[in-house]
């Protein structure tokens, strides 16, 4: 499992003084980009390759509240891959400092050519990084 640490900011809050729904998606996305950057796939690398990730669907499940200044982690797993690497499922668990699940984000996405505007297989190094990433318990081939 990979995990990235964050802290709830004032801008994360909704009218009920807990993290608003869209911010869970933002933190899940940030964790995915931090994961990719660790393997050399920075925003600049994606721009040079004229490709990037596209999300088709996000599913968000809530379990516990997070509040202002609380520290939390976003864990990351690959939940599914297409054999050629072109499509993927990423699973992000948002957990509080006690390790309790606060939210789960399940994202279905693909690698997208900025030139052809179509889904493409990723470069071999990116495919290998996705294949070598920790897998969710329910990982499956797409």
pLDDT per residue over 19-77, tens digit each?
999 999 999 999 999 999 998 999 999 999 999 999 999 999 999 999 999 999 999 99
pTM: 0.93
In this structure, is residue 141 part of a structural domain? no
Q: How far is CA 115 from CA 67, 69, 76, in A?
A: 42, 42, 29
Decide if 47 is inside a domain. yes
124 domain-assigned: yes
- Residue 128: enclosing H or E segment and its boundaries? helix 124-132
How confident is residue 1, by pLDDT bands cut at 50, 70 and 90? confident
> CATH no. for residue 72?
3.10.129.10
Percent of the chain with pLDDT over 70: 100
Cα 109 to Cα 88: distance, rounded to the nearest angstrom:
5
Question: Is 142 inside any structural domain?
Answer: no
């Amino acid at each position: 499992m990979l995990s990235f640490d964050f802290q709830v900011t004032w801008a994360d809050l909704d009218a009920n003084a807990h993290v608003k729904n869209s911010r869970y998606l933002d933190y899940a996305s940030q964790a995915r980009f931090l994961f990719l950057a660790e393997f050399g796939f920075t925003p600049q690398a994606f721009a040079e390759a004229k490709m990037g990730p596209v999300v088709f669907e996000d599913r968000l499940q809530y379990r516990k509240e997070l509040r202002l200044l609380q520290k939390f982690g976003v864990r990351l797993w690959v939940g599914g891959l297409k054999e050629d690497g072109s499509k993927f499922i990423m699973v992000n668990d948002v957990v509080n400092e006690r390790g309790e699940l606060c939210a789960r984000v399940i994202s279905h996405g693909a690698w997208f050519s900025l030139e052809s505007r179509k889904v493409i297989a990723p470069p071999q190094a990116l495919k290998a990084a996705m294949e070598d990433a920790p897998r969710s318990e329910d990982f499956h081939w797409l």
